[in-house]
Amino acid sequence: MKVAVVGVGAVGSATALSLVERGGTCREIVLVDHNTARADGVASDLRYAAPLSPTVEVRSGGYEDLADAAVIVITAGVNEKAGGATDRSDTKGRLRLLETNAKVFAEIVPQAVAVAPQAVVMVVTDPPDPLADLTRHLAGHNRVFSTGTVIDSLRFRVQLADRLKVRPRDVQAMVVGEHGTSEVLLWSSATVGGIPVTDLLGQHGRPVEDIRREVESDIRYANITIIEGTGASQYGIGAVSARLVEAVLRDERAVLPVAAYSSRHKVTLSLSSVLGAGGVQQMHEPIMAPEEQQALAKSAKALRAAAERAIAIGTT
């Protein structure tokens, strides 16, 4: 199967590398970028690594080369550093990138969909959730989802595991809502081996509320912390993107907090989503404490406003 990555900056390159390294996920990867020299260079570089993995062909191309792609991964647009979204005190967070990247998507999506009308489209570019709503509007179908809060949920698990001295894979914890400042960490259902995380944290001699504030800050601003050190947050989201492509191509029906359009909330946001062939097949709202439900409603409201703005910008 063919996978296309549109936008070969830091995240697009990391996604392509992760696809190669996963091995067997797809047989062909096409890289498309407005900077054709960059796409050519990244494709050439990855081709020399490809023999270390099961058979996969990596090449650069144009939109015409998206024909028959099963999945189109869109990573094009300005990132937080270039877009001036690295201020921890800015409540807009990634939404500050919306206007610029909505215009980018208005150019990309119609061209991609015209060539590959049956492809599933995965949005990675920030802010991914309102851009996914714009993509649905431009594509004219619902085979669209964003990476949502998968990376946030992984960060939640890692932060808790560090404090509890356990493996992250043994921590069950989820973030829902926006991939952004209004995201909701589901503390009420976070567990390790069936034991509530808050009970375990309470045994560490510090007020649980203090630890919660630290964890939430570390997660909400993880991208900014990474960008301050490296200039771009790319490897974690690149690995996530490749894993999600794999779930679609293998029709895994994997339950992950990716974001898709919710008829209940009337916007694209992250819930417990079943991901397989065609994209998100089902969405379920996890059990939440009353304050978490209220926070999710607030997040959905913010996302609806952002989605309306994205569609207005991307269709004018």
- Helix H or strand E segment including 115: helix 98-115
Cα angle 163-185-281, degrees, rounded to a multiple of 5: 120
Return all residues near 274 (Cβ < 8 A) that are at least 6 apart: 253, 254, 255, 280, 281, 282, 283, 284
Alpha helices in 119-196 (DSSP H): 128-139, 150-164
Q: How far apart are CA 191 and CA 199, in angstroms?
A: 9
Helix (H, G, I), strand (E, B) or coil at 198: helix
- Helix H or strand E segment including 1: none
Helix (H, G, I), strand (E, B) or coil at 5: strand
Supply the DSSP symbol for 286. Answer: P
Closest by CA to 233, choosing from 179, 191, 294, is: 179
Supply the DSSP symbol for 179. Answer: S
- For residue 140 the two structure tokens come to 């004219």
Closest by CA to 145, choosing from 128, 164, 170, 163, is: 128
Q: Of the listed 34, 137, 141, 179, which one is catalytic? A: 179
- For residue 134 the two structure tokens come to 């714009």
Cα angle 228-230-233, degrees, rounded to a multiple of 5: 90
Q: How far apart are CA 195 and CA 74, in angstroms?
A: 39
Q: In which region does residue 24 sit, left (phi positive, over 0), alpha (psi from -120 to 50) or beta (all else)?
A: left
Q: How far apart are CA 31 and CA 16, in angstroms?
A: 8
Catalytic annotation present for 265: no
Catalytic residues: 179
